[in-house]
Copies of this chain bind each other. A is one copy, B any other.
Amino acid sequence: MRAAYMYGPGDVRVIDAPDPRIEVATDAVVRTVVACVCGSDLHPYHSMPVEEAGRSMGHEMIGVVQEIGAEVRTVRVGDVVIVPFVFSCGTCDFCREGLQTSCRVAGLSVPTGAGGAQAQFRRIPFADGTLYRVDVAEDDERMPGLLTLSDVYGTGYHAAVTGGVAPGKDVVVIGDGAVGLLAVLSARQLGAERIILMGRHAARTDLGRRYGATDVVPARGEEGIAEVRDLTGGDGAHVVVDAVGHLPAYEQALGVVRDGGTVTRVGVPQYSTGPVGRTQFARNVTIAGGVAPVRAYIDDLLPGVLDGTVDPGAVFDRELPLDEAAEGYRLMDDRAALKVMLRP
The digit string for A98-123, where 1 denotes a CB below 8 A from any CB of B, is 01011000001100000000000000
Q: Are B287 and A287 in contact (CB under 8 A)?
A: yes
Q: Do A284 and B109 touch across chains, with their CB atoms under 8 A apart? A: no
Q: Is the CB of A284 within 8 A of B290?
A: yes
Q: Which of A47-55, A221-229, A270-278 contacts B (4 or more CB under 8 A)?
A: A270-278
Given the known A-B contacts A108-B282, A272-B279, A274-B276, are A260 and B291 also in contact in the complex, defined by CB atoms under 8 Å?
no
Which residue from B99, B102, B162, B281 sits with its C-beta under 8 Å from A269?
Answer: B281
Contacts A282-B108, A282-B109, A290-B283 given; does A269 touch B260 at CB 8 Å: no
**Is A317 engaged at the interface, CB distance under 8 Å to the other chain?**
no
- Known contacts A271-B278, A272-B277, A272-B279: A99-B265 contact under CB 8 Å: no
Interface check A297, CB cutoff 8 A: no
Main SS at interface, chain A: mixed
Q: How many A residues face the partner with a CB closer than 8 A?
A: 37
Report how far A184 CA is from B138 CA in the complex, Å: 55
Determine whether the beta carbon of A273 is less than 8 Å from that of B284. no
A280 in the interface, Cβ–Cβ < 8 Å? Answer: yes
* A316: interface (CB < 8 Å): no
The smallest C-beta distance from A270 to any residue of chain B, in angstroms, reads 8
Number of copies: 2
Q: Which residues of chain B have C-beta atoms less than 8 A from A162's C-beta?
A: 284, 286
Q: Which of A243-297 contact B (CB under 8 A)?
A: 250, 259-260, 265, 268-291, 293
The docked-state distance in angstroms from the alpha carbon of A271 to that of B279 is 9
> For the complex, what is the distance from the CA of A282 to the CA of B270, rounded to whole Å?
12
Which residues of A pack against B, CB within 8 Å? 94, 97, 99, 101-102, 108-109, 162, 250, 259-260, 265, 268-291, 293
